[in-house]
Structure formats: structure tokens, C-alpha cells
Structure 1
């Protein structure tokens, strides 16, 4: 039972990291039109997403 629980946790973490990376790269490329910055921001993942929301939330809504 414990092994199945650990496997589910690992799968959730992997999917979350993948989604965060993809989201940050799309936001970055849309904002800066630069593949280089998109790669850098993809490495930062959720950190960049939160930064972008805090900095530009007033222009989005």
C-alpha cells in the first residue's frame, strides 16, 4: 500500500513540474519573443510564473 501511495505522489510531482515549465516558457516567449529567455524562464518554472503574475497582474485583469 505504501509503495502505491509513493508512486502516485511522484507522478503528481512530475506532472506539476512539467506543466509549470511549459507555462513559464509560453508566458516568456509571448512576452519577450525570445527562445533564449523562454529556456531560462523554463528552468525557473513556477518561480517565473509567480513573478510574472505579481508584476503584470494589473495589466491582465
Structure 2
């Protein structure tokens, strides 16, 4: 089984964060205060946070 480096996983999470941000912007029709938009924004935030933590881990290593 192949193991990825923290840098590879950080890039993956960063791209997923961009995707979820794009989807949340597209789902905001009249207002941003609907369930789907908020869930996508929360997922994007978690993905960006994970990407930052993995980048820090990569540079410490």
C-alpha cells in the first residue's frame, strides 16, 4: 500500500476546499442562509484548516 506525503494530502485537501467553496457560492441563490450553503462552507473551512496543518507538518519534517 502506498503512503502519501503530508504535502500531497495538503494539496488534495486544499483542492477539495476550493471545490466546496465554489459549490457553496453556486448554491447561494437568494441568500446564503440556507442549509446546503452553510454545510458546504463548513466543509471548505475544515478542508482548508487540514491543509494548513499538513503543510506545517511537512515543513517541520
Q: TM-score, normalised by structure 1?
A: 0.44
Structure (1 or 2) with the greater helix fraction? 1
Q: TM-score, normalised by structure 2?
A: 0.44
**Larger C-alpha radius of gyration, 1 or 2?**
1
Q: Which has the higher contact order (CA 8 A, sep 6+)?
A: 2
